[in-house]
Amino acid sequence: MITASPPVANPQAPPRIGLEQYYSEAGPDYAAWSPEFNMHFGYYRFGANPLDRESMLEQMNVEVLARLRLNATAEPKLLDLGCGLGATLRSFARRLPHARLLGLTRVPWQVEHANALDEKAGCGERVRVIEGDYEETPLLSGSYDGVYALESSCHAHGADKGALLAEAHRLLRPGGRLVVADGFLGGGRFVSRLQERIYRKLCECWVIDQLGRLDLFTARLEQLGFAEITVERLQLRVAPSVAHIPWVTLKFLLTDVVFGARKMTRARWNNVLAPVLLPLVSAPLGPMIYCMITATKS
């Protein structure tokens, strides 16, 4: 059992920052992590250069695409649930010339900037980013060959992320594939109250209620009728990109904070703090693990 007790409200605490505010204010800062605005960790393939962060981030896109198993689909329709600034959509557009790609984000600032980046990249009509809630979309049932959530499922409600998974199931055609890559609580315990508090702070910084619990998440997939459920633990694959955090943070502090023109808001500081806290609660020190979960709609 994981010993994550419910957070106790502190009446003196400043009001929580909402998702839209966080991603609008901290959004431009992701350029320090990835010039292509890949807002996720990287996937390290043995033999690759661990110093080349952008290629590891791009490799994560490639790994998600491989698990969507689209080989036999001539004109695949794909949906990105929580697309950020659309880097994964643009990566897929380069690799799948006949695909139609839709991205969903709750953040209007991201819609505007993702669509501008798509246009600049010459994606044309095939790629579109719209505003919406991935737990309740206006999109047609059974209309997607593949649906994926890359480091966005963490924001969904509940420890089983049930509403997000139910919506993904509704949107997929029979035989369609779901891929989710994210941090989860993997079954281990917090080693101390302090570590649990660090976990809570990390969640607050990244505007997450709670991470998914791996056992509840996979049980929900089964209950919804997904088949071929596989869980890959990718801690070692993401570790080389996680190792870039101290250097990226230091560079960001020396450039954007000291000499930057934009005011450092609480949301922006949170985005600096969260990645620093991450290794303190992740395996091997803590219960947080990084997983890629795939499933097929029966």
Query: Which is closer to ligand SAM, CB of 19 or CB of 277?
Result: 19
Q: What token pair was written down for 297?
A: 């709609």
Q: What token pair was written down for 237?
A: 């694959």
Sole window of 42-50, 98-106, 182-190, 263-271 interacting with ligand SAM (rule: CB under 6 A): 98-106
Q: CA 156, 184, 27, 148 torsion: positive or negative?
A: negative
Find the distance separating the first CA and the last CA of the chain, reported in whole Å: 31
Instruction: Answer yes or no whether residue 271 interacts with ligand SAM by CB under 6 A.
Output: no
Sole window of 82-90, 193-201, 220-228, 262-270 interacting with ligand SAM (rule: CB under 6 A): 82-90
Residues paired with 292 in a beta bridge: 181, 232
Sole window of 127-135, 183-191, 214-222, 241-249 interacting with ligand SAM (rule: CB under 6 A): 127-135
Instruction: Answer yes or no whether residue 270 interacts with ligand SAM by CB under 6 A.
Output: no
Residues between 128 and 167 that touch ligand SAM (CB under 6 A): 133-135, 150-152, 155
Query: Which is closer to ligand SAM, CB of 81 or CB of 190?
Result: 81
Query: Which residues fall within 8 angstroms of residue 6, CB to CB, at 6 or more apart?
Result: none
Residues between 40 and 59 that touch ligand SAM (CB under 6 A): 40
Instruction: Answer yes or no whether residue 38 interacts with ligand SAM by CB under 6 A.
Output: yes
Which of 24, 110, 249, 271 touches ligand SAM (CB under 6 A)?
110
Query: Which residues fall within 8 angstroms of residue 172, CB to CB, at 6 or more apart?
Result: 142, 144, 145, 146, 147, 178, 297
Backbone angles phi, psi at 40, to 5 degrees: -150, 175
Nearest to 65 by CA among 46, 86, 98, 89: 89
Instruction: Answer yes or no whether residue 282 interacts with ligand SAM by CB under 6 A.
Output: no
**Interacting residues with ligand SAM (CB under 6 A):** 19, 23, 38-40, 82-84, 87-88, 104-107, 110, 133-135, 150-152, 155
